[in-house]
Structure formats: structure tokens, C-alpha cells
Amino acid sequence: MDSTESYSLSNKTLSRRYTRTLAFVKQTLPTGSKVLDIGITNPLSKLFEQAGYAIVNTKGEDLDIYPESVGEFNTETAFAFEILEHLINPMGVLKNLQAKRLYASIPLSLWFARAYRNKNDRWDQHFHEFEDWQFDWLLEKSGWQIVRSEKWTSPTGVFGVRPLLRYITPQVLYCRS
């Protein structure tokens, strides 16, 4: 199974996270809004489309090399759900966004574990695993103001040290304006 197959809505962990993410966004973003979802089309972007949002995605280009490509999209809002941790320099993407609003989430750093890495898939690895203050600082230095945030855990139901830590370590979701 490659990394794209594990992102199915039948994955209970992801389905739970996707449902919470959608509910968080719906509190402040009207349906019908045009949104740039940073990253390729995925089950979460499809879920937002089904909920009435007009979603456009980046094309799969390497955003560390071409961060300016996100500036080509004319949307009021951008989503960066579980993507910034994969970039070597997420500030380039954050500074090049033309959107006025940003909704973003990251998995928080696990204190006793190294950053996640799938040696069989170069796109399925984390260069950064932020502590909450680091992510806040990155966003502030990139020109974003935190409007609202939430944290929740994301238990996987899989046996192991990392899955156990994900059960007790919250993930963070922020709203920027």
C-alpha cells in the first residue's frame, strides 16, 4: 500500500480528523467560498467540495523549490492541512499566498520520537514536527495573525510507540486571517 491509499475516508482515524476539520472551518467560512487547498486533490479536499466549497488544488509541484506557485491562485482562503510539516521551508509558501484567510493544521512534535519518515515514499515524511509555539511563530513571522485555534488527539488504533504518543498528544488546527 502506498501513502495515497492510506488516506481513504474508510480510515477511521482520518475520517475523525476530517470531520473535526470540516466542523472547525464551517464555523467561520461560508459554503460556496473559493479555496486553494495546498497539495494535490485528496479525500479531505473532496469532502470540502461535497460540503459546498469550491476547491482548487496545487498541481503536485515541489513547493520548496517553487513556493511562488501558490501565489498564482486567486482565492480569498487557503487550506494547509497536514502539509507544512513536509516542507523544508514552509515560510516560502506561507509568504507567497495571496489569500486573506488561512486554515492550517499540523501534527505536533512527539517529545520522544524522531520525525516521521516513510523510506519508501519521499512525499510521505516529515521534515518538521513543530511544537505549538514554533508553529505559531512561523505563522506570525510569515505575516499571519492567529484568530482561532483548537487542539485534539488523533489516535490511530495501531500498536506502537508513535501511535500511543499520537493518542495522548494533541494535533493542532489554526485559523489565520
Summarize pLDDT for 136-175 with one digit per residue, the tens. Answer: 999 999 999 999 988 877 665 655 655 555 555 555 555 5
The whole-number pLDDT of residue 104 equals 94
Domains of the chain (ranges; CATH) run: 5-176 (3.40.50.150)
DSSP string, 118-176: -TT-TTSB-S----HHHHHHHHHHTT--EEEEEEEE------SHHHHHHHHSEEEEEEE
Phi, psi (degrees; rounded to nearest 5) at 34: -90, 130
pTM of the model: 0.79
The whole-number pLDDT of residue 16 equals 84
The whole-number pLDDT of residue 133 equals 87
For the chain, list residues with pLDDT below 50. Answer: 1-5, 126, 177
CA 42 from chain centre, in angstroms, equals 12
The whole-number pLDDT of residue 126 equals 47
The answer to whether the CB of 79 falls within 8 A of the CB of 103 is: yes
The whole-number pLDDT of residue 82 equals 86
The whole-number pLDDT of residue 5 equals 46
The whole-number pLDDT of residue 97 equals 97
Closest CA to 25 of 57, 58, 52: 52
